[in-house]
Structure 1
Amino acid sequence: MKFLNLLTDELRRARIFYGLLMISVLLVQAFNIGNMIIRNRQIVREGHPVALYLTDFFDSSGLYPMVIGGAAFALILYAVIIWLREWYFQGNYMYRLLILPGNRAPIAFAKVATILLLMSGLLLLQLGIFYVTHWILQMVFQDNYLGLGVLLQIAQQFTISYILFPLHPLTALFNYGFGICFLLVLMNNCILIFSYKGHGLLKTIGLTLVYDVIMLALLIGFFLSIRNPLTTTEVTTMVIVFLVGYLIIHSGWMYWLMNYYISI
């Protein structure tokens, strides 16, 4: 119940940022797609032979990668801001949460879940944009447009979108598993750095560097280990075992930081 209450509160406080982000992604892509439709419509009217694919309006447009990268950067930045806001811009809000009896870890895990939910909403919005664009192109260009009608197949036509909507389960596990690990590392660093007043600057820098170096060493060691000739089953097993262990380590560190490290 405590986690759900904290999650609801985080989502409520993210509504303005998230609304602006969703509207920005939608408007920029709508402008880009509309502009490309007008240009290609003129080419067709002039009698030039042209074969259009959905990828021409996304990966090949140049603006789409910038939108995806910008949205990802905005979520990463917001993941830092929600900690910065608690310690420096919300008065005693964080301290009131920390002095509540019981486990403090849900405070951090609610922030992690918030970012993951915001990301999920953006992915659903992107799928919707793909499908609506596909439907419009079918109506406008008819014989000149060559595209699939299945939503996930549409999404997997693109290089960038295949990272977001991978077809192979192992690829999905790899992409999103390490994405969640990155988010946990980022937030653990935020907890360490923004709570430095209770421990001093030198201790904060030292502990942060030790944590980051150890986690980076484990990651490099894993990637070196899977470079050896392995079967698909062996690689899948190694990825699953490593990701589960890696997530447990980061989550356990977050739990320890919230309950035993932060001083108020």
Structure 2
Amino acid sequence: MKQYIQLTNEEIKRSFKIYVIFVLVMAAIELVSIIVNVKLHERRVEDYLKSNTVTLYEALNEVGKISFVDTTTFYSYATMIGMALVLIYTIQIWYRDWIGETKYIYRLLMLPGKRISIFFSKWTTLLLIIMSFLGIQWCLIQIGNLLFNWSVRVDYLDKDSHRTLGSTLGEIFSLNLTNLFVILAVSMFIVSFIFLLVLIERSYRKWTGLLRMGVEIFIMIIFTVAGLYFLEQTKLLLNSEKMLVLTGLFVLYFAYVILRSLHLLKWKITV
């Protein structure tokens, strides 16, 4: 346990500066984009008033009022960029240990104790990054909403709008704990599966490794498609029972991915 904590702390320190820079840039862009969108809307209304002899009420009916949802485009972009960077980092967190003159991976593999600590230190780091990213985005949405209400003119505000954040963004940043748990579970499955592919590639010769990676991806696709098709076609189970079966299959395959990764790290990865 001590080794796991030490390795996790080391991984977090190696990632901290880049992560903080990304979060600060993301926060600045998202919050500034709200002000910019509000000002652009005001400019459109003013331009319409100048080019047409109409009242403010008529101009707003033509141009439209603005709601907070109209200013959250960059939140969606930032979330997608964040997800993409997490996927890249999931690969890089392993390969950086093989890159460079020091070959940091050799130091890790020669540490006394079980190699399971190496795997779960990286796994935990990704979990913390994903959780903190979602939490920070949620906080930025709340701050952005306050900033929007402060910067927009009362007459320009669409008070009757019942729109929520985009369907995907809304699901991610809702206060529904079930949604949050599902998102984290799926995210960590993807992280674990990428870990497995990296360890397969590192465990075998080039073409053999690539072939085995292809087989693993094929198995995952077949497993997913077959499971979903069976649950969709069968009429023997209730919807709640189908969800229970689907969850069970997911947990089983998740466990297989982690156990296979640990087996490769213990027996196939050599110094």
What TM bracket, shorter-length normalisation?
0.7 to 0.9
Identify which of 228, 231, 235 aligns with 1:226. Answer: 231
Q: Hey, what does 1:102 align to over in structure 2?
A: 113
1:34 matched to 2:35? The reply is: yes
1:213 matched to 2:189? The reply is: no
What percentage of residue pairs aligned between the two structures are identical? 17
CA deviations 1:94-115 (Å, max 9, x no partner) are 1111112221022112112111
Counterpart-to-counterpart distance in 2, 1:121 and 1:22: 10
Counterpart-to-counterpart distance in 2, 1:122 and 1:32: 19
Q: CA deviation at 1:22?
A: 0.6
Task: Note the 1:139-154 alignment, pairs <5 A.
Answer: 139-141=150-152, 142=154, 144-146=157-159
Q: With the length of structure 2 as denominator, give the TM-score of the two structures.
A: 0.82
CA deviations 1:204-239 (Å, max 9, x no partner) are 223322322222221222221232355331132123
How many aligned residue pairs are there?
A: 253
Q: What residue ranges of structure 2 are gaps of 5+ in the alignment?
A: 50-55
Counterpart-to-counterpart distance in 2, 1:247 and 1:160: 24
Distance of aligned partners of 1:146 and 1:117 in 2 relative to their CA distance in 1, 3 Å threshold:
farther
Q: Hey, what does 2:186 align to over in structure 1?
A: 178
Counterpart-to-counterpart distance in 1, 2:119 and 2:19: 19
Equivalent residue of 1:87, what SS?
Answer: coil
Identify which of 240, 243, 246 aligns with 2:250. Answer: 243
1:57 matched to 2:64? The reply is: no
The residue identity in structure 2 corresponding to 1:157 is: L
Moved over 4 A (4+): 43-46, 166-174
Q: Hey, what does 2:10 align to over in structure 1?
A: 9
Equivalent residue of 2:5, what SS?
Answer: helix
Q: Hey, what does 1:157 align to over in structure 2?
A: 165
The residue identity in structure 1 corresponding to 2:254 is: L
Identify which of 77, 88, 94 aligns with 2:88. Answer: 77
Q: Hey, what does 1:133 align to over in structure 2?
A: 144
Q: CA deviation at 1:37?
A: 1.4
Counterpart-to-counterpart distance in 1, 2:181 and 2:16: 29
Counterpart-to-counterpart distance in 2, 1:172 and 1:118: 14
- Indicate if the aligned counterparts of 1:25 and 1:71 stay in contact, CA closer than 8 A: no
- Indicate if the aligned counterparts of 1:174 and 1:239 stay in contact, CA closer than 8 A: no
Distance of aligned partners of 1:106 and 1:12 in 2 relative to their CA distance in 1, 3 Å threshold:
same
**Structural RMSD (CA):** 2.6
- Indicate if the aligned counterparts of 1:7 and 1:113 stay in contact, CA closer than 8 A: yes
Q: Hey, what does 2:22 align to over in structure 1?
A: 21
Q: Hey, what does 1:200 align to over in structure 2?
A: 205
1:118 matched to 2:129? The reply is: yes
Q: CA deviation at 1:131?
A: 0.8
Rg bigger for which structure? Answer: 2
Q: Structure 1 stretch 211-220 or stretch 221-230: which is displaced more?
A: 221-230
Distance of aligned partners of 1:69 and 1:157 in 2 relative to their CA distance in 1, 3 Å threshold:
closer
Counterpart-to-counterpart distance in 2, 1:169 and 1:234: 21
Q: CA deviation at 1:54?
A: 2.0
Equivalent residue of 2:270, what SS?
Answer: coil
Equivalent residue of 2:232, what SS?
Answer: coil
Q: With the length of structure 1 as denominator, give the TM-score of the two structures.
A: 0.84
Equivalent residue of 2:97, what SS?
Answer: helix
The residue identity in structure 2 corresponding to 1:53 is: S
Equivalent residue of 1:24, what SS?
Answer: helix
- Indicate if the aligned counterparts of 1:10 and 1:114 stay in contact, CA closer than 8 A: yes
Counterpart-to-counterpart distance in 2, 1:126 and 1:178: 18
- Indicate if the aligned counterparts of 1:7 and 1:110 stay in contact, CA closer than 8 A: yes
